[in-house]
Homo-oligomer: A and B are copies of this chain.
Amino acid sequence: MPSPEKPRSLERGVVTATPDVAEPLNLSYLRHLVGNLSGLVHIRSREIFKSRLSEHQLTPKQAVVLEFIANNPGVSQKEIAQGVVTTPAMLVSVLDTLTGRGLVERVTDTEDRRRTCVALTPDGLLALGDIKKSFENVEETLQAESGMTDQEWQTLVTLLRKITERE
């Protein structure tokens, strides 16, 4: 999506379409919506993450859950769901995958047998290093592509956190 606003022909059917270099499209409205822009940034970050998969073959979601468990050993499934903003039901399939690969373990809480505590296995700890590299690669690539300075990047992080850490 290049260059600034430019008036655009309304009768596109008449315009001879240049095959690769398309006429710039009018994005003036969506371009100013944080709700939309954040989605586009997220799509791009997922693309980068997936393009650099190393031996861990995890989806971004699975990686985020693994990372979250690593930071909160023995966390319950309900807490994970709240922490990564998803539903307990959705977590089941993610944890099934992670336990199936031997990266995390589910243990019933001895105090409250309804709760399941989840923690990383030694293999999960190994995979974690790899995943962190992928996450960092996403950040570096995004920043490089955008041409932002380190200070601008920090500002962006700070502002996004104001939304995600409301109240």
Contacts and interface: CB of A to CB of B under 8 A. Distances in A.
A56 interface: no
A73 B115 CA distance: 55
Contact of A163 (B2, B109, B146): B146
Q: Which 3 A-B pairs have the closest CB atoms?
A: A35-B45, A12-B74, A37-B160
Given A13-B74, A40-B85, 16 more contacts: A11-B74, A12-B73, A17-B76, A26-B71, A26-B72, A27-B71, A30-B64, A31-B165, A34-B160, A35-B41, A37-B161, A38-B39, A38-B42, A40-B163, A146-B159, A159-B159
15 contacts: A13-B110, A33-B138, A34-B45, A34-B156, A35-B48, A36-B64, A38-B160, A39-B45, A40-B160, A40-B163, A44-B163, A142-B163, A145-B166, A146-B159, A148-B163
